[in-house]
């Protein structure tokens, strides 16, 4: 029988932090290693579990039960992703401005008996843009893609530009997002059809791709890059791969470019800070993310699936 030593000071024990990621198809997420690596740098026992929801666990009632369990079982917080970023909103006690603006939450922190929702996709994209193009013109910006991530990007842009035009092949979606964001900020926000892109892109100071075009399994670009003015900055939020077809083409035209890595890293860093109250090392987290994306592409990083049993 092993005798455990009691010769330690409890105050010297590392802080423990327990975080979950709830959504469907989250097993391949790079958030667990990103958070755990940052936690380790802070000397914490930081455990981040991807909790892949079954289809029948995404209803408001089921999500409410899962949130209550997470709180009862001692989780400090949760990241929330597709398809429950909006479902979770009415289940919370309070929303940070970022979450209230977009009407979606990707970070929930258990603050004593309150559940507070934040949206670090909004703050993450905004921070990445400010870092990449600190002095660039932002009067007229075009956002292509009005889905889940595009909605967060639109909110970040709308507090930084004079005029934002949102284009989506699903025009109803673009119009709904423009109407929503337009009521939340002083910027002029409108929707336009994809047919208007030649005119819009010729006059744009900046362009953002928030469609899946450029991903490994979705190659190509969401619009013809030859329409870009060489004076424009171009941001892609796709980051697997980091060098998307759009960024390569835009750089060839002389545009300044920003990859999706900055947003992905910053949403994690901002969440880490909300969960722990400690400053995240963004340079180190960016390096980690770049290494993880490279390892994933090379097949040398394999995420571990959380086994949740057969009867759930």
Residues noted as catalytic: 85
Comparison of 151 and 276: residue with beta carbon closer to ligand NAD: 151
- Cβ closer to ligand NAD: 182 or 262? 262
Among 93, 130, 162, 170, binds ligand NAD (CB under 6 A): 170
Question: Residue 158: which of 185, 125, 126 has the closest Cα?
Answer: 185
- Identify the residue among 17, 37, 70, 167 touching ligand NAD (CB under 6 A): 167
How far is the CA of 271 from the CAs of 6, 25, 41, 121, 169, in angstroms?
Answer: 35, 20, 16, 9, 31
Per-residue mark of binding to ligand NAD, 59-88 (x: CB under 6 A): ------------------------------
Rounded CA gap, 159 and 139, in Å?
11
Strand partners, 109: 77, 116
Give the x/- contact pattern for ligand NAD in 253-282, rule: CB under 6 A: -------x--xx--x---------------
Q: Could you tell me which stretch among 18-26, 145-153, 241-249, 292-300 binds ligand NAD (CB under 6 A)?
A: 145-153
Query: Out of 212, 284, 296, 301, which residue is the one contacting ligand NAD (CB under 6 A)?
Result: 212
Distance of CA 140 to the CA centre of its chain: 24
Residues contacting ligand NAD: total by CB under 6 A = 26
Tokens representing 279? 């400053």
Task: Indicate which single residue of 33, 145, 182, 206 sits in contact with ligand NAD (rule: CB under 6 A).
Answer: 145
Q: Measured between alpha carbons, how far is residue 220 from residues 211, 214, 215 in Å?
A: 11, 5, 8
Q: Look up residue 217 and give its two tokens.
A: 């399994």
The single residue among 98, 107, 119, 222 that binds ligand NAD, judged by CB under 6 A, is 222
> In a 3-state reduction of DSSP, which class is residue 274?
helix
Closest by Cα among 283, 243, 279 to 260: 243
Taking each continuous run of H as one helix and of E as one strand, the counts in the chain are: 10, 12
Give the footprint of ligand NAD on this chain (CB under 6 A): 144-150, 167-170, 173, 194, 210-213, 215, 222, 237-239, 260, 263-264, 267
């Amino acid at each position: 029988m092993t005798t455990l030593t009691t010769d330690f000071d409890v105050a010297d024990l590392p802080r423990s932090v327990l975080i979950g990621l709830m959504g469907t198809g989250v097993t391949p997420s790079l958030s667990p290693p990103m958070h755990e690596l940052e936690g380790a740098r802070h000397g914490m026992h930081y455990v981040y579990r991807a909790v892949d929801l079954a289809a029948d666990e995404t209803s408001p009632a089921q999500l409410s039960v899962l949130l209550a369990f997470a709180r009862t079982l001692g989780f400090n917080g949760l990241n929330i992703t597709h398809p429950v970023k909006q479902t979770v909103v009415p289940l919370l006690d309070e929303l940070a401005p970022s979450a209230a603006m977009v009407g979606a939450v990707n970070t929930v922190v258990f603050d004593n008996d309150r559940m507070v929702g934040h949206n670090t996709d909004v703050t993450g994209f905004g921070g990445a843009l400010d870092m990449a193009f600190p002095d660039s013109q932002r009067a007229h910006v075009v956002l292509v893609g009005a889905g889940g991530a595009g909605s967060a990007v639109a909110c970040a842009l709308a507090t930084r530009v004079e005029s934002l035009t949102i284009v989506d092949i699903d025009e109803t979606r673009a119009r709904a997002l423009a109407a929503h964001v337009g009521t939340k900020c002083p910027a002029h926000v409108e929707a336009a059809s994809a047919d208007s892109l030649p005119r819009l892109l010729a006059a744009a100071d900046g362009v953002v791709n928030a469609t899946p075009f450029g991903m490994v399994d979705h190659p190509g670009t969401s619009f013809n890059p030859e329409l870009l003015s060489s004076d424009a900055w171009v941001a892609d939020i796709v980051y697997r791969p980091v060098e998307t077809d759009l960024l390569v083409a835009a750089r060839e035209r002389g545009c300044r470019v920003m990859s999706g890595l900055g947003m992905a890293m910053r949403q994690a860093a901002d969440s880490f800070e909300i969960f722990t109250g400690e400053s995240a090392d963004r340079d180190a987290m960016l390096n980690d993310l770049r290494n993880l994306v490279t390892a994933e592409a090379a097949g040398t990083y394999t995420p571990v699936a959380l086994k949740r049993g057969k009867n759930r």
